[in-house]
Amino acid sequence: MMVPVRCFSCGKAIGQAYEEFLERVKKGEKAEKVLDDLKITRYCCRRMIFSQADLIDDFMKYNV
């Protein structure tokens, strides 16, 4: 629904990186570079960020 707070595999807190990642990738920066910049180095943590699809906005449309 929203980006997980921690990496499923190693337990590093990664939730805080998601909003900045989205913003910078939308501006045209390379995803690979942004992740390096955010100090997300292991591939377990990297997949948490770039495979995330936030669905909470869709849920919010139907909530009464």
| Interface with other proteins (CB under 8 A) | 1-6, 10-13, 15-16, 18-19, 39-42, 56-57, 59-60, 63
Q: Which is nearer to other proteins, 53 or 60 (CB)?
A: 60
Q: Which is nearer to other proteins, 32 or 59 (CB)?
A: 59
Among residues 45, 53, 46, the alpha carbon closest in space to that of 1 is found at 53
Q: State the DSSP code for 52.
A: -
Task: Report the alpha-carbon distance of residue 1 to residue 39 in Å, rounded.
Answer: 24
Q: Which is nearer to other proteins, 4 or 47 (CB)?
A: 4
